[in-house]
Amino acid sequence: MKNLMIIGTGGFAREVLWLVQEMNKANEAAVQVVGFIGPEGKGRLNGFPILGDDSWAFQRIDRKVWFVVALGDPKLRRTLAESYLEQGFRAMHLVHPSVHLAEDVQLGAGAILCAGVALTTQITVGDFAIINLNATVGHDSVIGAYATLHPGVNVSGDVIIEENAELGSGAVVLPGLRIGAGAVLGAGAVATKDLEQGKRYIGLPAQEINS
């Protein structure tokens, strides 16, 4: 049995709790959620305690307890993940039982694959990446560390999504493209060409917008 704390107290944190519960029901894991960590520092969430804030966790939580960062924002997720790793905690990756996953897919520490996700072959998912509900990723693609694919994203084959990139719900990336580090592709947008690092894009085809 592994003990797990969930970093975050928002809606996605509650979805991650459900994901772990589904894993346990399917006998794919033996994970005990000990509670949530968030700025509120106290209270309960879906029947589980909010144990304390980050400072409290660093002082009070045993380093044998694993962690996962349940926050959609890539930059904030990176900041928190790096803080917990520096404190000696270990990150757990989570895969919902309904995920379709080829045996050769490589998953990084702290990565989260939500219900209905499909990843085919020769795919790499970086540390602390999130692939949310019903998203799909095609062959030979790379999902960089801390990248976020929101629900219903479709990534074609031979795509490289660099670290901290964020793809909005229902966004589409055509084959062979590169999404630059920190780039944002808006909900429902279709990338038909490479997206530059740190830029924001919307529309069909996706066009750069001023931040």
Taking only the tens place, the pLDDT of each residue in 47-91 is: 999 999 999 999 999 999 999 999 999 999 999 999 999 999 999
* Alpha-helical runs (H) found in 89-192: none
Residue 57 lies in a domain: yes
Whether 173 and 116 map to the same domain: the answer is yes
Binning pLDDT at 50, 70 and 90, where does residue 41 land?
Answer: confident
- What the block records as the tokens of 117 is 């996700």
pTM of the model: 0.96
Residue 78 lies in a domain: yes
Write the CATH number for 123: 2.160.10.10
Radius of gyration of the chain (CA): 17
Taking only the tens place, the pLDDT of each residue in 188-204 is: 999 999 999 999 999 99
Of 27-31, 119-123, 135-139, minimum mean pLDDT range: 27-31
CA angle 63, 65, 71 (to 5 degrees): 110
Whether 125 and 162 map to the same domain: the answer is yes
Q: Which domain holds residue 120?
A: 94-198
Whether 62 and 112 map to the same domain: the answer is no
Sign of CA dihedral 117, 4, 34, 32: positive
Taking only the tens place, the pLDDT of each residue in 99-112 is: 999 999 999 999 99
HSE toward the beta carbon, residue 19, CA cutoff 13 A: 28
Binning pLDDT at 50, 70 and 90, where does residue 148 land?
Answer: very high
Whether 85 and 52 map to the same domain: the answer is yes
Instruction: Tell me which of 39, 72, 92 is where a domain ends.
Output: 92
Whether 55 and 133 map to the same domain: the answer is no
Residue 145 lies in a domain: yes
DSSP state of 35: E
Instruction: Tell me which of 92, 126, 159 is where a domain ends.
Output: 92
